[in-house]
Structure 1
Amino acid sequence: MKRARVFIIMTAYPCLKGAILMLRILTLAAVCLLTSRLAADRPSYTVARTDSKIVVDGKVEAAWKDAPSFGAFKFPWWKEGKREQTDARMLWDDRYLYVLYQCDDAHISAQYTKRDERVYLDDCVELFTAPNPKTPKVYFNIEMNVNAAILDRYHPPRGKGKELPQWDATGILIKVSIDGTKNDDSDTDKGWVLEVAIPFSDFKIATGKDSPSAGDVWRLNLNRCGGETNAQYSQWSPSGTTRPSFHVPEAFGRIVFSKLSAPALAKRNWKAAGFESQAGFFKLPRGTTLGACSAVDTDRDGNIYLFHRGAKPIICLDSKGNYLRSWGDDLIGKAHGLRIDRHGYVWATDIKHHVVYKFSSTGKLLLALGAPDRAGESDSQFNQPTDVAFGPNDEVFVSDGYGNSRVVKFDHRGKFLTAWGTAGKKPGEFNLPHTIVVDGKDRVIVGDRENDRIQVFDLEGKRLAIWPGFAPYGIELDAQQRIWIADGRAQQILRLDENGKVTQRLGNKGSNSGQFNLPHMLAADKHGNLIIAEVGNKRFQRLLRR
């Protein structure tokens, strides 16, 4: 028996050895595949140069308003609680890398005050960078909490088991301003701003340079973490790990140092995008005050219908922006979505009265779907309906979003046909279906806003696809069936390809021309010009295609 066992082991050993070798090859291939995917998905950011003096005071001064935003941070490990956004911007000069973080935060908290304490447990923002592209795994991390305390580390190549070398960033300037009360959950805060200037000399140990040159590329990531209540774990460039982990240099994004100022960079980007923001286009009657601007659409003659939360909520202009008429004071409680069907009828959703209205182009009420002031989930009720779309046979699709989590389908006369969707995160479930369109392929495209994704269905509600990675407040199809998104979290307008991949990003947060503050919904006219309805700026902005 012993000899037999030895024989079996000896004959099996080559097979076992081969299996181990194959396992190693497969593991290496998987790592290479993950690395290549991370590289392909890494975001990029261009850092504008500033020639004006930046005063680090924790305030959003004029120099920052034109600086491009990094866009909405991602929440790769989110499970529950409110996702509180971070708006980050960057500038540079010969001496400093400047970063501004604007953090939404309902409950601001911080305990640590000394260097290299566990500041990441407090409300905290971080900068990780591998500044030398020749050594992409040699990186620094600088973590800063609401008390302006920092934890900093340098990660050079080192043997297994060896300690990190002692390294302290010197000359860093940090200021924090708080809109709320720190360490007091009895009230609701608005947020906090952290502004930091980091000397380039702190990175010379890795770069060998006193400061970067225009055109230099660094690998970098920005993170947010910590907080006593509703802890946040978000990133600019997702790490791709199953659990929160920021020390993944392979997943860092890229920043490019530009010689252009922020205004010049913005002008170049808009020109490259093929659009120009057109100021003064909308000519409203004297004394008109717009409320939060919720939706907009155009008809086949080029007339523009504006929908806002103020007096005369539906305003009609001609194709040149001249005022024609307005209506809705006696019906509309709170404006939300507005669409024009192929026959020229105007459809509007009212989230106060739980009703979808159909008007003639002159404002005559033709149909009302829903039970006024009676929210519900029956075939004849809505609970804060958000938007409306139209099928190939004039079917009407309503995203019934704030109170219910479903799509409701009617025939052209308003007869209930079917409904689908429940509250949740799984495929086919919704967390605020906020906007809806039907494209030329008869796909029902639904903006599942709080799940940060679009879900695509056929006309009967069969799920076809999920497109993640953005917050679809509004969806629009232009005359060429290009898909445009108003991303109210990123404060940008996105263009998607037919498979939901982002191919273009326009604008960033702000109130200047070409900037957005909560872009809510949008429309494209027959010439490809875009009109954006902004809740935050209480305005409509026209983007002229060049």
Structure 2
Amino acid sequence: MWLLGLFSSISILLTVSGLHAQTNLAQVENMQASPRRYGVMKTNMPIAIDGKDDEKAWALAPWTEAFVDIEGDAKAVPVYTTKVKMLWDDTHLFIYARMEEPHVWGYLTKRDTIIYHDNDFEIFIKPFEQPSFYYEIEVNPLNTILDLVMPKPYRFGGDALMHWDVKNLKSAVHVEGTLNDPDDTDQYWSIEMAIPFNSLTTFSRKAIPKLGDYWRINFSRVQWQHELNDGAYSRKTKNNKLMPEDNWVWSPIGIINMHYPERWGYLKFIDSSDTEVAFPRSYDAEKAVWNIFYLQQLYKQEHKHFAAGITELKGYQRLLDMDRTDLIYEIFSNRREAGYVVEVKDLKHRLTVTLDNFGHYTINYE
């Protein structure tokens, strides 16, 4: 029974996480918003993990932009405000998130249960530039944690490794109001977290950042409409079906799927909040190579094989800056166009990005 329950949970996770992929050119065009950027300031001040941001260190940390819908400008601005602050020291990444909420509720208490069946807050971290794997941490208003590692995104055959835990993770939730009490109006709930860098380290790679390093990161807030049954909150239904949840994020994806790490925001490790955060050197070439990948997927849907050249891809004029002389695009396909490798050279930044039809990519710096 335990195994059956485990596989059932993973099946639900794969279904509800959103396996939507872009299916038309309009969706690809909606995926063009610039990723958010945040300079995370280094601190040597003590931080007590209690769900509050009342330490001096947090007063110095800037807020992110308010969250938007996961589809960006295609959807309405979220009803409730969500913002995040971050800090780091030699051993931890600190995250504080505040979610405006008049009805704070949650009932799931078992670790690694499907947390977003409650309203939740989710953290996605990709600390290494080239390996595909990344980490996900979810938390509800009861401070119940779901944590997992993804060897690669679902759309490339990735599988959620639910047995992985963030060792020595510290987290706490504060509710400005009363949890699970429908008779009052709450103000917000907040999550404070200290993520040890050593817990994100693999056998061969160290996830301990240096000044100037970039990570990919994003945050998601899953928000359900609710109803009351015998005085208890539950997800709202209509015609015996759950009403769809809202997905509010820091850096918009463009489609309803968080598992596009190439569409996440950039986190830059800095020592002063006054530092302006530019895009990393590889940004232009990476954006171009992924746009070609998305267009190749659309091309194959229509033609049953991949395109052998850029100009065969519908929409390339709008998504690729063909007038730039510092970017060189090439597609290398096999004889039957059943597979390909796309290569984008950035002459200005002296690097080359490659990406194949399986999602394998490299960034080579000269």
Q: Which bracket does the TM-score occupy, shorter chain normalised? A: 0.5 to 0.7
Q: Contact 1:220–1:254 at 8 Å: present in 2 too?
A: yes
2:318 is aligned to none
Q: Which moved more, 1:218-227 or 1:38-47?
A: 38-47
The 1:198–1:207 alpha-carbon spacing in structure 2 relative to 1, beyond 3 Å, is: farther
CA contact (8 A) 2:67 2:78 kept: no
Report the alpha carbon displacement of residue 245 of structure 1 after superposing the two structures with TM.
Answer: 2.4
Cα displacement (A) at 1:123:
2.4
| Alpha-carbon contact 2:127-2:207 (below 8 Å) kept | no
**Aligned residue number for residue 57 of structure 2:** 63
Partner of 1:259: 271
Match for residue 220 of structure 2?
223
For residues 161 and 134 of structure 1, the distance between their equivalents in structure 2, rounded to whole angstroms, comes to 17
Q: Secondary structure at the match of 1:112?
A: coil
Per-residue CA shift, 1:40-80, capped at 9, x if unaligned?
61111110001111111111122112201111100246978
Counterpart residue number, 2:79: 83
SS in structure 2 opposite 1:65? helix
Contact 2:38 2:266 in 1 (8 A): yes
Q: Within 5 A, what are the aligned runs for 1:125-140?
A: 125-135=121-131, 137-140=132-135
The equivalent of 1:236 in structure 2 is 250
The reply to whether residue 45 of structure 1 matches residue 68 of structure 2 is no
Q: For the Cα contact (< 8 Å) 1:109–1:228, is it kept in 2?
A: no
Q: 1:228 to 1:114 in 2, by over 3 A?
A: farther
Task: Give the whole-Å Cα distance in 2 for the aligned partners of 1:81 and 1:38.
Answer: 17
AA of the residue aligned to 1:43 = R
Structure 2 residues not aligned, in runs of 5+: 1-21, 227-235, 237-244, 277-366
* Letter of the 2:57 counterpart: A
- In the other structure, the counterpart of 2:66 is 72
Give the structure 2 partner of residue 248 of structure 1.
260
* Greater Cα offset, 205-214 or 103-112: 205-214
Shift of 1:140: 1.0
The root-mean-square deviation of aligned C-alpha atoms, in Å, is 3.2
Q: Which of 177, 183, 186 matches 1:189?
A: 186
More strand, by proportion:
1
CA distance, structure 1, for counterparts of residue 85 and residue 129 of structure 2: 22
Once the 2 structures are TM-superposed, how far is the Cα of residue 257 of structure 1 from its aligned partner? 0.4
Looking at CA atoms only, which structure, 1 or 2, has the larger radius of gyration?
Answer: 1
Deviations 1:118-163 (A, max 9, x none): 211222111101111112x321111111111111111114997674
1:142 aligns with 2:137: yes
Which has more helix, going by share of residues? 2
Q: Secondary structure at the match of 1:202?
A: helix
Alignment of 1:477-488 (within 5 A): none
Q: TM-score, normalised by structure 1?
A: 0.39
| Unaligned stretches of 5+ residues in structure 1 | 1-26, 270-546
Distance (whole Å) between structure 1 residues aligned to residue 224 and residue 153 of structure 2: 32
Residues 352-383 of structure 1: CA distance to partner in whole angstroms, max 9, x if unpaired?
xxxxxxxxxxxxxxxxxxxxxxxxxxxxxxxx
Deviations for 1:231-285, whole angstroms, at most 9, x for unmatched residues? 54200111111xx32222121111100023xxxx24x56xxxxxxxxxxxxxxxx
Partner of 1:513: none
Distance 1:119 1:220 in 2: 20
Equivalent positions of 1:27-46 (< 5 A) are 34=28, 38=31, 41-46=34-39
* CA distance in structure 1 between the aligned counterparts of 2:37 and 2:203, rounded to whole angstroms: 21
Retained in 2: the 8 A contact 1:125–1:143?
yes
Quote the residue 2:4 is aligned against.
none
Identify if the C-alpha distance between structure 1 residues 131 and 104 changes in structure 2 by more than 3 Å, giving closer, same or farther: same
Report percent identity of matched pairs: 32
Report deviation, 1:182: 1.5
Tell me the distance in 2 between the aligned counterparts of 1:73 and 1:162.
Answer: 27
- Between the aligned partners of 1:133 and 1:82, the Cα distance in structure 2 is 31
| d(CA) in 2 for partners of 1:182, 1:228 | 16
Q: Separation in 2 of the partners of 1:157 and 1:76?
A: 20
| Contact 1:84-1:232 within 8 A present in 2 as well | no
Please name the residue that 2:312 is paired with. Answer: none
**Shift in alpha-carbon separation, 1:233–1:163, aligned structure 2, 3 A:** closer
Q: 1:196 to 1:206 in 2, by over 3 A?
A: farther
Change (3 A) 1:91 1:183: same
Pick aligned residue for 1:111 from 101, 107, 121 = 107
